[in-house]
Amino acid sequence: MKDTDPAGGGPPDETWTDAGSTRDRMRSQIVEVAAGLLARGGREAVSTRAVAAAAGTQGPTIYRLFGDKDGLLAAVLEYGVAKYLSDRPVVESGADPVARLRADWDRDLGFGLANPALFRLMYVEAVPGRPSAAAEAALSTLRTRIRGIAAAGRLRVDEELAIAMVQAAGCGAIFALVAVPEERRDPRLAEAMFDAVVAAITTGEVETRNTRPTTAANALRAQLPDLEMLTDGERQLLDEWLVRITH
């Protein structure tokens, strides 16, 4: 017995499948074209007219697929960051937690310098108070790295402050370097920024008496989700006490 279409009683209509594939191909083509325009000329170069002309389509098609220019830019950002993350090597889980943070720092620095327009779109041109999905993904990775340092008993300050400091230092280094011609960039800047922020948020190999309670509290707080012998209420109460110690 042949398959039939439940709605009409006849054979399945493949038109919708073909239309969906065509739509996806056109969407991908437009995003790739827009990404190229962004890389060469910045946000101003990504006009609906320019993208449509380069992609061999019409402006209304872009509006149907992306809603508006902001929707198109969001898709370009997602495409660029996804491509970067797919090429990103995996750092061994047993590596020193600060070394893992350093590896991420170096890779993100390279990405920002190679894709300044995309990086600016990711952090500067987003709606204030509403970070892009790409920025949120990067923040999640950074949070994991800082949590690893805390779990190792080497975090001098509380996790949220450490995350904010590393993110500010990283973005600042990239924007400072992008602001000058490539031949005049000082590669020592990013190195010095990383060393400075690590010195500020970690205890190093030797703890001082003043930092020991904070690092111990940070280490225990990082492992709270694994303390299954405690109830949810007990973990919440312990978390409140540990936060008081680290702030």
Ramachandran category for residue 222: left, alpha or beta (phi over 0 → left; psi -120 to 50 → alpha): alpha
Q: Which of 189, 195, 172 is nearest to 119 (CA)?
A: 172
Which pTM was predicted? 0.70
Q: What is the pLDDT of residue 18?
A: 61
The residue behind tokens 């991420």 is 104
Q: How far apart are CA 174 and CA 162, in angstroms?
A: 18
Q: What is the pLDDT of residue 208?
A: 44
| Strand runs labelled E in the chain | none
Give burial (CB, 10 Å; 0-12/13-18/19+) of 228. Answer: exposed
Q: How far apart are CA 170 and CA 180, in angstroms?
A: 16
Q: What is the pLDDT of residue 10?
A: 47
Low-confidence ranges of the chain (pLDDT < 50): 1-16, 206-210
Question: Is the domain defined by 17-84 classed in CATH 1.10.10.60?
Answer: yes
Q: The tokens of 176 are what?
A: 């400072």
Task: Determine the residue type at 142.
Answer: L
For CATH 1.10.10.60, the residue range(s) in the chain are 17-84
